[in-house]
Amino acid sequence: LAVHPSVAANAVRELIAVAKAKPGALNYASGAAGSTVHLATELLKSMAGVNIVRIPYKGAAPRITAVLSGEAQMTIDNVGFVTPHVKTGKLRALAVTSAEPSALFPGLPTMAASGLPGYEAVGLTGLFSSGKPPAAIINRLNQEIVRFLNRPEVKQTFFDRGGEVVAGSPEQFAAMINSDIAKWGKLIRDTGIKAD
């Protein structure tokens, strides 16, 4: 979660207070309807009970440019897109959206620890297959993929691009997907989000 320096908030609680004091006065730069960037901010709005106006942009560059210029006051975006601007002071980072603190942004608190208990919004990347391959094939593929992803140079490549490797079992991945389907499905239904 990053804000334009003009926003009078140095923490998530302060941002929520600003949004509650002036409903609809803050704008957030969003991706396409249903994108992680969009849903993550809608989750913040829903959990905090605030009215922050969505401005959709086609791509990360226009989104970040909007926040840098002050056209939008905030965004929840990939750490790789906001970090260079936080380092130069052009944006202020308030929190990470993962459940645990992130090595990508040491010292930055989580949203959950910053006043929104239970908040988590992360993008997942994984491999899927069509049909129903035998469990032995899935398990072997998983072992090889996990071995590859845990190589130090591979982890570093992901880290350099703003990602963290979480290599687990097919069952763990399925549980994460099912949890996300339930959480995001409820948010979409509750807020009436429609595709652009």
What SS3 state is found at 58? coil
pLDDT in tens, the chain (196 residues): 999 999 999 999 999 999 999 999 999 999 898 888 999 999 999 999 999 999 999 999 999 999 999 999 999 998 888 989 999 999 999 999 999 998 888 899 999 999 999 999 988 888 888 888 999 999 999 999 999 999 999 999 988 888 888 888 999 999 999 999 999 999 999 988 887 7
CA distance linking residue 4 with residue 190, whole number of Å? 29
What integer pLDDT is reported at residue 154 of this predicted model? Answer: 94
Query: Residue 152 region, left (φ>0) first, then alpha (ψ -120 to 50), else beta?
Result: alpha
What integer pLDDT is reported at residue 166 of this predicted model? Answer: 86
Evaluate the CA torsion angle 157, 161, 166, 169 in order and state its sign: negative
**Could you tell me the CA-to-CA distances from 25 to 8, 18, 22, 62 in Å, in that order?**
13, 9, 6, 21
Strands (E), 43-181: 53-56, 74-75, 92-93
Q: Are 40 and 2 in contact (CB under 8 A)?
A: no
What SS3 state is found at 69? helix
Segment 137-145 long-range contacts (CB within 8 Å, at least 24 positions apart): 138/170, 139/170, 142/169, 142/170
Show Cβ contacts of residue 181 under 8 Å, excluding neighbours closer than 6 positions.
none
Return the half-sphere exposure (C-beta side, CA atoms, 13 A cut-off) of residue 54. 21
CA distance linking residue 36 with residue 4, whole number of Å? 20
